Amino acid sequence: MSQANRLGTEIAAYGRKSDKWVKDPDGTEHIRFDHSGLGLPKQWDKRKQGLRDRYLGKSKMPKKMPIELANLTNKKAIEFAERCDKAGMPPLRSFTNVRSASWASMGDGVLAMSGKHIDDLASYKAPEIALKEAREGWKASLDYHVLTLERVESGQYTNVSAEVLKETKKEIRRLKKLLKDDNAGLEKIGRAASSWKFGDGPSKKPFNSAYYFASVEEQWESTLEHEFSHHIHQTLGVTDIGSYQYPPMEARLIQLHKTHGENATLYAEGQGANRPPMEWFAENRSLWKMGREDIVDQTIKPLMKELDDMGL
Ligand SMILES: [Zn+2]
């Protein structure tokens, strides 16, 4: 692991040195994001200083990261640096870990990887064991809903709205189907590649695009591609502090997102004001780079080709 962090630090140091990174008037790196979760001081000046001293130009991957995933991260980081150089973009300049519910995040060229998610990956159980455990949970949930329904129907519970009852019946049908079909169960726990395709409707879509892949390595690679896509919209075409704060690609994605068709994942919908266009882009870009053009939103395909032509 320390070996992997040594290489990661070299890659981050290379990225930090790039003259493509926008500087403040005092010559230090300009920062857009607050990087909450990295344990930095609250005061902005000190926070910025802390980010520079402790994170920029360094690699501190999650401690329990399996060596295969650490190596894959470095391999992709080198590839990302090459892609940035071709497109005239600043390369990534930090790889670090954070205790976060989301899998990873990106901002100011800092890739923060969730130690919690890595712990989950590191303790990944064989699919059949994971499925057995999940089935026990679904069975318990089914028993509970069936019992509730019985009590309503026998008059023990009164004043239950028809709407709630309808939802309970729907949930019972869903759980029975999950318990009957092992493959649906594996998809549900993200251990079989989702079979969703256009025309299937939204309810069968997986939570995020990583679940279109079955192996841990592919899921992690697709996560890295997703995060790198955030780096693209944050830095492509950025030339000064103004455009660093308000990136031209983000303005373009907000416009484009208004015309979007049936996009590939659930994940992109319903987050904060500016999140959906960026998540929509990151999810579709990741699928595109992972060879799943067949489930990329038609609306965004011309942009994907444009970025490919730039070497991204
Ligand atoms: Zn994202």
Provide DSSP, 277-310: HHHHHHHHHHHHHTT-GGGS-GGGHHHHHHHHHT
pLDDT: is 128 or 122 the higher one? 128
Q: Distance, CA 70 to ligand 1 centroid (Å)?
A: 20
Q: How far is the CA of 215 from the centre of ligand 1 (A)?
A: 20
> How far, in Å, from the CA of 96 to the mean position of ligand 1?
16
Spatial separation of the C-alpha atoms in residues 59 and 81, rounded to whole Å = 15
Q: What are phi and psi of 112, to 5 degrees?
A: -105, 120
- Rounded to the nearest angstrom, the distance between the alpha carbon of 42 and the centre of ligand 1 is 24
Residue 268 has what pLDDT?
A: 53
Place of tokens 């150089």: 85
**pLDDT-based confidence at 296, cuts 50/70/90?**
very high
**Cβ atoms < 10 Å from Cβ of 105:** 17
Distance 226 CA to ligand 1 centre (A): 6
- 111 vs 37: CA distance, rounded Å: 12
Who wins on pLDDT, 54 or 64? Answer: 54
Mean pLDDT of 64-70: 91
In angstroms, the CA 249 to CA 277 distance is 11
Mean pLDDT of 127-138: 89
Give 166 Cα–ligand 1 centroid separation in angstroms. 34
Q: How far is CA 185 from CA 97, 124, 138, in A?
A: 31, 16, 10
Q: Does 271 score more than 50 pLDDT?
A: no
Helix (H) or strand (E) holding 94: strand 94-98
Q: Which percentage of the chain shows pLDDT scores above 70?
A: 96
- Ligand 1 center to 169 CA (angstroms): 34
CA distance 251 to 256: 9
Lookup result for tokens 């995020």: 208
Confidence grade of residue 207 (pLDDT, cut at 50, 70, 90): confident
Report CA(153)–ligand 1 centroid distance (Å): 45
Tokens standing for 175? Answer: 């759980």
Interval between CA 208 and ligand 1 midpoint (Å): 10
Helices assigned H by DSSP within the chain: 2-17, 44-54, 67-87, 115-122, 127-153, 162-180, 182-188, 216-235, 241-245, 248-257, 275-289, 301-309
Ligand 1 ion local residues (Cβ < 5 A): 279, 282
pLDDT band at 196 (very low <50, low <70, confident <90, very high): confident
Rounded to the nearest angstrom, the distance between the alpha carbon of 282 and the centre of ligand 1 is 6
Expressed in angstroms and rounded, the spacing between residue 227 Cα and the centre of ligand 1 is 6
Rounded CA-CA distance 79/75 in Å is 6
Identify the pLDDT of residue 266.
Answer: 64
Residue 176 has pLDDT above 60, yes or no: yes
Residue 247 has pLDDT above 50, yes or no: yes
Q: Is 63 left (phi over 0), alpha (psi -120 to 50) or beta?
A: alpha
Distance 57 CA to ligand 1 centre (A): 22
pLDDT band at residue 267, thresholds of 50, 70 and 90? low
**Closest to 178 in 3D by CA, of 210, 141, 214, 149:** 141
For residue 59, the surrounding DSSP H or E stretch is strand 58-59
Q: 167 CA distance to ligand 1 centroid (A)?
A: 31
Token pair, residue 37, equals 């979760």
- Residue 273 clears pLDDT 60, i.e. is over it: no
Cβ atoms of 194 and 253 closer than 8 Å? no
